[in-house]
């Protein structure tokens, strides 16, 4: 295989992964508010929460097991086939919800779009052949009948498979935690963020595991692996203090957007300008995860967007030290490494370099 063929296949794989990440994000991000609502309920009312309340805590289980997966299935179906797809996506998701005793986020991401796609194909056959005046009858019964079938499919087939996969992933992550090598996950996560593959990792793997863990223990470190603002903050601080003089004025504004607004994409062009800075975000990310592990830190829900305010909001009682320590350590390590790497650079980057890097960042985001 030639070098050009290998490069093309690599670009195609990256584009497919980015598309997967975009699809996962499109199903989860519109429902982040519901996740945060569940996280706040958990942080407040479970026995170890801020305001323990046995009655109000009864909402925690049904929301995590039923409501959130159904919302994801509904949203995934809507993306494929508008409102009819949303309805059958929710119906299909109930099949795997009832057939499992764990939060079926992964199964919902499969069943919602799949059921909507099947209904879309069925509509393409039935709609042109439906007599005038019978549209509502045909539409309702076609959705209802197919909905029953895909719900049964989810209950008997997809649900058990998704449960087994979730258990396998959870066991694998637990091994990383038990052996103390979880910080090595930053070798994958931090470069993936620069290529906009973070959604596939965060929403497809980490968040479902984190939600299941938080439902049992009241918190999870999984929510912190990809969302830590420390590594990016360290890079931006390094640009501000020791970066090319032409770019230093742009760093403070980027810091505000990144750290307080939670828009991590703002620092991606700064890394792309100096690709070796990926070592800084990897080092910062690994140091942050190690600190989270050492302090027993965890969050009750995904902090989305990943700003310091969101972090503090979903930090459980007694967990502020660990959360803040991980962010501070990640920032410090990333800053030190990035500063050393920037000082080694002899050329002076300018605004044109930043503009070029921003264009490359956009190309990465959309698979260009």
How would DSSP label each residue in 154-216? IIIIIHHHHHHHHHHHHHHHHHHHHHT-GGGGHHHHHHHHHTT-HHHHIIIIIHHHHHHHHHH
CB 245 within 8 A of CB 347: no
- pLDDT for res 117: 96
Distance CA 320, CA 311 (A): 9
- pLDDT for res 226: 86
Stretch (H or E) spanning 85:
helix 68-98
Q: Which residues contact 190 (CB under 8 A, 6 or more apart)?
A: 231, 278, 281, 282, 284, 285
pTM of the full structure: 0.68
- pLDDT for res 9: 59
How deeply is 56 buried, as exposed, middle or buried, from its count of CB atoms within 10 A (0-12, 13-18, 19+)?
middle
First to last CA, the chain: 23
Which of 102, 232, 81 is closest to 160 using CA atoms? Answer: 102
- pLDDT for res 148: 95
pLDDT digits (tens, 9 = 90+) for 145-201: 999 999 999 999 887 887 777 667 667 666 777 777 889 888 888 887 876 666 666
Phi first, then psi, for residue 299 (nearest 5°) are: -120, 160
* Other beta carbons within 10 Å of 332: 17
- pLDDT for res 337: 96
- pLDDT for res 41: 83
Which of 36, 7, 14 is closest to 301 using CA atoms? Answer: 36
CB 186 within 8 A of CB 224: no
- pLDDT for res 331: 97
- pLDDT for res 170: 65
Distance CA 317, CA 233 (A): 25
Distance CA 236, CA 266 (A): 9
Give the residue carrying structure tokens 């942050």: 288
Half-sphere exposure of 225 (CA within 13 A, CB side): 27
Each residue's pLDDT expressed in tens, for the chain with a length of 368 residues: 555 555 555 556 656 656 666 677 678 778 878 877 887 787 788 776 778 888 988 888 888 889 989 999 999 999 999 999 999 999 999 998 888 777 787 788 889 999 999 999 999 999 898 888 888 999 999 999 999 999 999 999 887 887 777 667 667 666 777 777 889 888 888 887 876 666 666 766 777 778 778 877 888 898 898 889 999 999 999 999 998 888 888 889 889 988 988 878 788 888 888 888 999 999 999 999 999 999 999 998 888 777 898 888 889 888 899 999 999 999 999 999 999 999 887 555 545 455 554 555 455 454 44
Distance CA 226, CA 131 (A): 53
Tell me the three state secondary structure of residue 299: strand
Give the residue carrying structure tokens 């005038």: 132
């Amino acid at each position: 295989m030639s070098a050009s063929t290998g490069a093309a296949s690599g670009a195609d794989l990256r584009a497919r992964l980015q598309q997967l990440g975009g699809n996962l994000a499109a199903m989860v991000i519109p429902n982040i508010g519901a996740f945060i609502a569940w996280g706040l309920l958990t942080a407040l009312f479970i026995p170890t929460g801020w305001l323990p309340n046995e009655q109000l805590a009864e909402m925690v289980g049904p929301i995590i097991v039923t409501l959130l997966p159904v919302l994801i299935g509904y949203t995934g179906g809507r993306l494929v086939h508008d409102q009819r797809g949303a309805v059958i996506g929710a119906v299909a998701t109930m099949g795997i919800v009832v057939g499992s005793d764990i939060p079926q986020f992964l199964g919902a991401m499969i069943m919602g779009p799949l059921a909507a796609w099947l209904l879309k194909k069925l509509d393409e056959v039935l709609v042109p052949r439906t007599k005038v005046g019978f549209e509502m009858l045909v539409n309702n019964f076609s959705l209802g009948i197919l909905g029953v079938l895909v719900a049964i499919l989810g209950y008997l087939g997809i649900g058990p498979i998704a449960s087994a996969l979730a258990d396998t992933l959870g066991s694998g992550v637990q091994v990383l935690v038990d052996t103390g090598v979880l910080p090595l996950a930053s070798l994958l996560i931090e470069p993936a963020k620069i290529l906009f593959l973070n959604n596939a990792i965060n929403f497809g793997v980490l968040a479902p595991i984190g939600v299941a863990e938080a439902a049992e223990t009241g918190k999870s470190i999984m929510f912190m692996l990809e969302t830590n603002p420390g590594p990016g903050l360290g890079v931006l601080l390094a640009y501000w203090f020791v970066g090319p003089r032409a770019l230093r004025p742009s760093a403070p504004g980027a810091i505000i957007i990144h750290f307080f607004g939670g828009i991590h994409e703002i620092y991606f062009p700064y890394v792309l300008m100096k690709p070796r800075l990926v070592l800084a975000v990897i080092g910062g990310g690994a140091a942050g995860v190690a600190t989270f592990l050492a302090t027993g830190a965890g969050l009750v829900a995904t902090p989305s967007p990943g700003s310091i305010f969101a972090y503090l909001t979903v930090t459980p009682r007694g967990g502020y030290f660990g959360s803040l320590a991980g962010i501070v350590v990640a920032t410090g390590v990333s800053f030190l490494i990035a500063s050393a790497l920037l000082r080694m650079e002899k050329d002076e980057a300018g605004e044109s370099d930043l503009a070029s890097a921003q264009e490359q960042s956009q190309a990465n985001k959309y698979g260009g």
